[in-house]
Amino acid sequence: MRKQYIAGALLAGTALAGSAIASDWGSFDGVTVEAKLIGGQQYEALYGRIAEWEAATGATVDIISKKSHFEIDKEIKSDMAAGTTDWCVGSNHSSFAPQYEGLYIDLNGMVPEDTIAEFVPGNIKASTVDGALLMLPRAQFDVSVLYYLKSNYEDADKAAAFKAEYGYDLAVPETWEQVRDQAIFFADPPNFYGTQYAGKDEAIVGRFYEMVVAEGGSYLDEEKKPVFNSEAGQRALQWFVDLYAAKAVPAGTTSYVWDDLGQGFASGTVALNLDWPGWAGFFNDPESSKAAGNVGVAIQPMGSVTRTGWSGHHGFSVTSDCPNKEAAVSLVTFLTSEDSQLAESAGGSLPTRTAVWKANVEAAQNGDDPYRAEALAAFAAGAEYAFAVPPIPEWGETTNIVFPELQAAIVGDKTVQQALDDAAEAVDELMRESGYY
C-alpha cells in the first residue's frame, strides 16, 4: 500500500512538473491545424489530451485522417502526387519516413535543443534522415521480445525428454538455435506449434533483417549494395526454413502478419513467440487470451553474434507546406511531451523520453503487477539492442523484392542460397537504378 502511494506521488510529481511548463505552448488564436494521425483505440487517450493544447493556445486541431500507418502511407503518396500536402501534422514511422522527399520539415532549430535532449538518443538518431530531424518520436521504440508459455518449462517429464533428445537443460531459450530446438520439440501439429513468424510483406523482411544482423551480417553495405546473401544471411534464412520444414510453425505462417501472430499466441497454441511490446497486455488478459496467466516475457534471444533488435517507432512530423508551422511544431511537441507520454504509457505503450522510462519502471517495480514488471524489464533490456532499418527511401521497395524470395526458400521452391542470390540481384538492380552506385 505504502509502495503504491509512493509510486503515485512520484507520477503526480512528474506530472505537476510537466504541467508547470504547459503554459508555454504559445498562442495561436484562430489557427486551425490539420492533422493526419495514426488510428486505433490505444491512441485515443493521447488524442483526448489535444483539447488541453487547444485551450492553452487558442488554436483548433482538425483531424482529417485517422488510419494505420500502411494506409496513411498510401494516402500520403497520393497527396504528394496530387500536390495536396498543405495539411500540417502527420503521424510518421521510422520505416516510412525516409521516402517522403521534401514532405516534412527539419525540426532541428524549430524545437529547442533542450527538448530534443530529453528524448532517448537512439530515438532521435532513428528519426534523423540525412541530418534532418523529420519527426519527434512519440512512442513504441519497440524491440520484439520473447513471449512464452510458462507451463512448458514447469513440466518435469518434458524437461527430461528434452534433455535426453538435445543434451542440454530445457529452459527459456537464450539463443535462436535453442528456439529452433525447442520449437521443434514442443510442436504437435495441427494442434500445437512450437513457434510462428511473420511470413509476408515488410514484416518477414524485418524479421530476416534482424536475424542477419544477429548472425553478424548486414542487409546493405556502406555503398547500399545488398549483402544479405552472405553466409550470415544464409544462416539466418535457414532458421526460418528449418522450422517450416519441421512443421514447427503453422503451414499458413507465410501469410501471417502481426494480427495473425498476436491472435495465434493468444489462442494458447504456440509455445514461443517473438512479438512486439504492444501485445503484452493483450496476451495476459483473460478476456482476450487463452494464454493469460501462463505468459512469460524474456529478452529476445541471440544469434551467433548478437541479439535481434529490429526496431521501429512512431512520431509526429510537420509538413513543409503547412501554413502555420509554429502552431504545428507546438502541437507536435505537446503530443510528445512528458505529460502526454506518461498518460499514454500508462496504457502500455513504450515511451521515448528518458524520464518517462524511469518513472514507468519504478512504478511497475513498486506496484503489485509482477507480469507488468517482468515485461517492462524485458522491454528495457531488449531495447538496448535496438537498431532501425537502413534509412533509405528504397527500404520498403527492397522488402517487396525480398519477401517473395524468402517465401520461396521457406516453402521449398528454391534453395536458401538461390533465393537470396536472386533477391540480392534484384535489389542490386534497384539500387543501381536509384543512383547509389
Partner 1 sequence: MTRRRLPEWFVLLLPAIVVIAAVVLIPLIFSLYSSFTPYKLTRPSTLWRWVGTYNYEKILTDAKFWAAFGRTVLFLTVVLNLELLLGLGIALLMNRVTWGQRTLRTILMFPMMFSPILVGFQFKFIFNDNIGLVNNVLQSLGSDAALPWLVDGRLAMFSIMFAEIWMSTSVFAILILAGLFAMPRDPLEAAKVDGCTPWQTFRHITLPFLMPFIYIAMTIRSLDVARAYDIVQIMTGGGPARRTELLWTLMSRTGYVDARMGLANAMGYVSILLSILFTIYFFRKLSAARAEIGMAG
Q: CA–CA separation, 340 vs 138, rounded Å?
A: 9
Q: What nine digits make up the cell of 356?
A: 518517462
107 lies in the binding site for partner 1 (CB under 8 A): no
206 lies in the binding site for partner 1 (CB under 8 A): no
Among 100, 162, 186, 379, binds partner 1 (CB under 8 A): 100
Using an 8 Å Cβ cutoff, are 192 and 269 in contact?
A: yes
Among 22, 63, 80, 159, binds partner 1 (CB under 8 A): 80
Q: How many residues bind partner 1, per CB under 8 A? A: 34
321 lies in the binding site for partner 1 (CB under 8 A): no
* Cβ nearer to partner 1, comparing 119 with 256: 256
| Minimal distance, residue 419 CB to partner 1, in Å | 9
| Minimal distance, residue 406 CB to partner 1, in Å | 8
Among 254, 319, 336, 337, binds partner 1 (CB under 8 A): 254
Which range of residues in 40-48, 50-58, 288-296, 394-402 is near partner 1 by CB under 8 A?
A: 394-402
404 lies in the binding site for partner 1 (CB under 8 A): yes
Q: 402 to each of 49, 210, 212, 229, 405, how far by Cα in Å?
A: 41, 14, 13, 11, 5
Among 252, 368, 370, 384, binds partner 1 (CB under 8 A): 252
Q: CA–CA separation, 342 vs 194, rounded Å?
A: 36
Among 54, 110, 153, 189, binds partner 1 (CB under 8 A): 189
Strands 60-67 and 32-38 turn out to be parallel
Query: Which amino acid is present at 134?
Result: L
Q: CA–CA separation, 348 vs 352, rounded Å?
A: 13
HEC string for 358-417: HHHHHHHHHCCCHHHHHHHHHHHHHHCCCECCCCCCCHHHHHHHHHHHHHHHHCCCCCHH
391 lies in the binding site for partner 1 (CB under 8 A): no
83 lies in the binding site for partner 1 (CB under 8 A): yes
Which range of residues in 212-220, 290-298, 381-389, 409-417 is near partner 1 by CB under 8 A?
A: 409-417
Among 49, 158, 200, 358, binds partner 1 (CB under 8 A): 200
Instruction: Find out whether the peptide bond into 190 is cis, omega within 30 degrees of 0.
Output: yes
Angle ∠(14,340,32) on CA atoms, nearest 5: 135
- Smallest Cα–Cα separation from 355: which of 337, 382, 374, 373? 337
For partner 1, the binding residues (CB under 8 A) are 74, 77-78, 80-81, 83, 99-101, 189-190, 199-201, 250-252, 254-255, 264, 393, 396-397, 400, 403-405, 407-408, 410-411, 413-414, 433
